[in-house]
Structure 1
Amino acid sequence: MFTDMVNYSELMQKNEANTLKLLKEQQSIVNNILEEFGGRQIKTIGDGFFSQFNSVLIALDCGIRIQEKLAKFNSTRHVNQRIHLRIGIHLGDVEIMDNDAYGDGVNIASRIEPFADPGGICITEDVYRQVMNKSDLTFRPIGKKNLKNITYSPDVYKVILPWQDRRQKSDPTFPREKERRNQDKSYSDNLNHKTPDDGKKQKTKVITYLAILVMAVVGFVFLMTKKSTSSEKSRSIAVLPFDTITDATGNDHFAQGITEDIISKLSEIRGLRVIARTSVLQYDGTTKSVLDIAGELDVNTILEGSIRREKNRVRVVVQLIDVLTDDHLWTNTYDKELNDIFAVQSDIAQNIASALTAELTDNEISAISESPTINTEAYQYYREGLNHYYSYSFEGYNSAIEQYNKAIQVDPEYALVYAELGNAYGQIFIITQNPKDLEKGLSSINKALSINKNLAEAYKARALLDYAQSNGNASIKNNIRATELKPGYYDAIANVGNTYIELGNLSEALRWQERSYPLNPYSLQADWHRAQVYFMMDESDRGMEYIRIGIQKFNQGFRCRSMLIQHYINSKDFEQAKKGITDLLEVRKNDKSINDLWSIYHYMNGDFQEGIEYADKTPFPTDYSKLYHADMLSRIGKKGQSEQILSEIELRVQKRINAGSDIYRPYYVVAQIYAIKGEKELSMDMLQKAINRGFRGFGDDINFLSWKVNPIFSTFINDSKFIELQREVDIIINREKMEAGITSF
Structure 2
Amino acid sequence: MSQDHNRKQSVVFFSDIVGYTRLMGKDEDHAFDLMKKNLEIHADILGHYRGNIIKELGDGILATFETVDEALEASLEIHKRLQSIPDMQIRIGLHCGEIIFDHGDVFGDAVNLTARIQGIGVPSCILISEKAREQLPANTNFNTQKLGMFRLKNVEHPVQLHAVTNPPCAVPKRSQILDNIHFQEKNPWKFWAVLSVSFILLTYLIYSILWNTSVWEKEKSVAILPFTNLSNNSEQEFFSEGLTADVITQVSKIGSIKVITKDAVEPFRGPDLPLDSIANTLGVSTVLKGNIRWIGDKIRINVQLIDPSENKNLWAETYNREVSDIFEIQAEIASEIARVLNSNLSAAEKDQLNKAQTSSFDAYELYLKGRELYSLYRKQTTLEAAELFKEAIQIDPQYALAYTGLANAYAQYLYFGEGDQWLDSSMEASAKALAIDPYLAEAFTAQGSAYYYKGQNEYAKISFEKALVLNPNLSTAMGNLATVYFISGDLAKSLKLQSKSASLNPTNHLPYQITGWIYRVLDQFNEAHDWIDQSIEIQKDPLSYEQKAFTYFEQNKIKEGVEMANQVILVNKDTTSLGFVAAGTIHFFAGDFEKAAFYLEESLRKKPDYESDEYFISPVYLSYIYKTMGKTKEANALLDNAISIRKETLESFKEDFNLWLDLAQLEAVRGNINQSSTYLKEAYNRGFRDDFQLVNNPIFKNYLSHQPIRSLLSELQKKRMEMNQELQTSDLLRNK
TM-score, scaled relative to structure 1: 0.60
Other-structure match for 1:651:
648
CA distance in 1, matches of 2:584, 2:510: 24
Match of 1:695? Answer: 688
Is 1:615 aligned to residue 604 of structure 2? yes
Displacement after TM superposition at 1:438 (Å):
2.2
Instruction: Indicate the SS of the match to 1:335.
Output: strand
Asked which structure has the greater RCO (Cα within 8 Å, sep 6+), the reply is 1
Instruction: Kindly provide the amino acid, as one letter, of the partner of residue 285 in structure 2.
Output: N
C-alpha separation in 2, matches of 1:467 and 1:243? 37
Residue 560 of structure 1: aligned partner: 544
Specify which of 707, 710, 724 is matched with residue 694 of structure 2.
707
CA distance in 2, matches of 1:561, 1:299: 29
User: Does the Cα contact within 8 Å between 1:407 and 1:417 map onto a contact in 2?
Assistant: yes
Name the stretch that deviates more: 359-368 or 449-458: 359-368
How do 1:99-498 and structure 2 match up within 5 A?
234-285=219-270, 288-309=273-294, 312-323=297-308, 326-392=311-377, 397=382, 400-401=385-386, 403-429=388-414, 434-498=419-483
In the TM superposition, 1:590-609 aligns within 5 A as: 593-597=578-582, 600=585, 605-607=592-594, 608=597
Q: Give the alignment partner of residue 532 of structure 1, picking from 503, 506, 517.
A: 517
Cα distance change of structure 1 residues 602 and 551 upon mapping to structure 2, 3 Å threshold: closer
Distance apart, 1:527 and its partner CA: 0.9
Correspondence 1:581-596 to 2 at 5 A: 581-582=568-569, 586=573, 593-596=578-581
AA of the residue aligned to 2:617: S
SS in 1 for 2:421: helix
TM-align CA RMSD: 3.8
Residues 294/310 of structure 1: CA separation in 2 closer, same or farther (3 Å cut):
same
Q: Distance in 1 between matches of 2:406 and 2:583?
A: 35
Deviations 1:683-704 (A, max 9, x none): 1122123223321127xxxxxx
1: CA distance between counterparts of 2:334 and 2:275?
20
Instruction: Please state how far the C-alpha of 1:477 moved relative to its aligned partner.
Output: 2.0
Moved more, 679-688 or 305-314: 305-314
Q: Letter of the aligned partner of 1:414 in structure 2?
A: Y
- Please give the secondary structure, in 2, of the residue aligned with 1:706: helix
Aligned partner (choices 679, 697, 716) of residue 729 of structure 1: 716
Q: SS at 2:433's partner residue? A: helix
Structure 1 counterpart of 2:676: 683
What CA distance in whole angstroms lies between the structure 2 residues aligned with 1:651 and 1:630?
21
Aligned counterparts of 1:295 and 1:603: Cα–Cα separation in 2: 41
Q: Does 678-687 or 467-476 show the bigger shift?
A: 467-476
1:676/1:463 CA distance change after superposition, 3 Å: farther
Give the direction of change, closer, same or farther, for the CA distance of 1:670–1:632 in structure 2 (3 Å limit): closer
Q: Which amino acid in structure 2 is aligned with residue 342 of structure 1? A: F
In structure 2, C-alpha distance between the alignment counterparts of 1:260 and 1:484, rounded to whole Å: 20
8 Å CA contact 2:411, 2:449 repeated in 1: yes
Cα deviation, 1:558-578, whole Å, max 9, x if unaligned, reads 653564466678875574233
1:578 corresponds to which of 565, 570, 578: 565
Deviation at 1:265? 0.7
Q: In 2, distance between residues paired with 1:606 and 1:455?
A: 52
Give, in angstroms, the shift of residue 269 of structure 1: 1.9
Q: Which residue matches 1:202? A: none
Alpha carbons of 1:379 and 1:674: their partners in 2 closer, same or farther (altered >3 Å)?
farther
In structure 2, relative to structure 1, the CA distance for the partners of 1:743 and 1:614 (3 Å cut) is closer
Cα deviation, 1:629-678, whole Å, max 9, x if unaligned, reads: 78369744143464234212202214433xxx3x5344324433433443
Distance 1:387 1:561 in 2: 33
Distance 1:240 1:706 in 2: 43
What secondary structure is seen at the aligned counterpart in 2 of 1:382?
A: helix
Q: String of CA shifts for 1:28-68, please: whole Å, max 9, x gaps.
A: xxxxxxxxxxxxxxxxxxxxxxxxxxxxxxxxxxxxxxxxx
The aligned amino acid for 2:620 is Y
Instruction: Tell me the distance in 2 between the aligned counterparts of 1:735 and 1:727.
Output: 13
Matched, 1:548 2:533: yes
Contact 1:633 1:642 (C-alpha < 8 Å) held by counterparts: no
Alpha-carbon separation, structure 2, partners of 1:437 and 1:532: 33
**What is residue 186 of structure 2 aligned with on the other side?**
none
Question: Secondary structure of the equivalent of 2:715?
Answer: helix
Q: Which runs of 5+ in 1 are unaligned?
A: 1-16, 18-77, 79-229, 699-704
CA shift in 2, pair 1:729/1:286, >3 Å: farther
The structural deviation recorded for 1:252 is 3.7
Distance 1:533 1:395 in 2: 36
Letter in 2 for 1:305: G
Task: Give me the whole-angstrom Cα distance separating, in 2, the residues matched to 1:361 and 1:407.
Answer: 32
Residue 725 of structure 2 is matched in structure 1 by 738
Cα deviations across residues 120-178 of structure 1 (Å, max 9, x unaligned)?
Answer: xxxxxxxxxxxxxxxxxxxxxxxxxxxxxxxxxxxxxxxxxxxxxxxxxxxxxxxxxxx
Max Rg structure: 1
SS at match of 1:529: helix
Please say if residues 664 and 694 of structure 1, whose CA atoms lie closer than 8 Å, have aligned partners that are also in contact. Answer: yes
> Cα 1:263–1:395, aligned 2, differ >3 Å: closer, same or farther?
same
How far residue 598 of structure 1 moved from its aligned partner, in angstroms, is 5.3
Asked whether the equivalents of residues 240 and 259 of structure 1 are also in contact (C-alpha less than 8 Å), the reply is yes
Mapped to 1, the partners of 2:683 and 2:710 lie a distance apart of: 15
Secondary structure in structure 1 of the residue aligned to 2:345: coil
The alpha carbon displacement at 1:482 in A equals 0.7
Q: Which region of structure 1 is more displaced relative to structure 2, 411-420 or 626-635?
A: 626-635
When residues 677 and 407 of structure 1 are mapped into structure 2, their CA distance, relative to the original with a 3 A threshold, is farther
Give the letter for the 1:257 counterpart. Answer: G
Q: Describe the shift of the 1:480–1:714 C-alpha distance in structure 2 as closer, same or farther (beyond 3 A).
A: same
Q: Is the 8 A contact 2:543 2:582 kept in 1?
A: no
Decide which moves more: 406-415 or 479-488: 406-415
| TM-superposition CA deviations, 1:203-239 (whole Å, max 9, x none) | xxxxxxxxxxxxxxxxxxxxxxxxxxx9896432221
Structure 2: gaps (5+ residues) = 2-101, 103-214
Q: Aligned in 2, Cα 1:648/1:592: closer, same or farther, shift over 3 Å?
A: closer
Moved more, 495-504 or 374-383: 374-383
Question: Using a 3 Å threshold, how does the CA distance of structure 1 residues 649 and 342 change in structure 2: closer, same or farther?
Answer: same
2:638 and 2:483 mapped to 1: Cα distance?
Answer: 34
Identity, % of aligned pairs? 25
Please tell me whether residue 521 in structure 1 is matched to residue 522 in structure 2. no
Return the offset for 1:523. 2.6
Contact 1:630 1:645 (8 Å CA) reproduced = no
2:695 partner SS: coil
Q: 1:628 aligns with which of 620, 629, 645?
A: 620
Deviation at 1:415, TM superposition (A): 1.7
User: Residue in 2 aligned with 1:114?
Assistant: none
> Which whole-Å deviations, capped at 9, do the CAs of 1:397-419 have from their partners, x for residues lacking one?
55644554454455443321322
CA contact (8 A) 1:653 1:670 kept: no
Distance in 1 (CA, whole Å) between partners of 2:486 and 2:497 is 11
- Deviation (angstroms), 1:264: 0.2
Alpha-carbon distance between aligned partners in 2 of 1:280 and 1:535, rounded to the nearest angstrom: 30
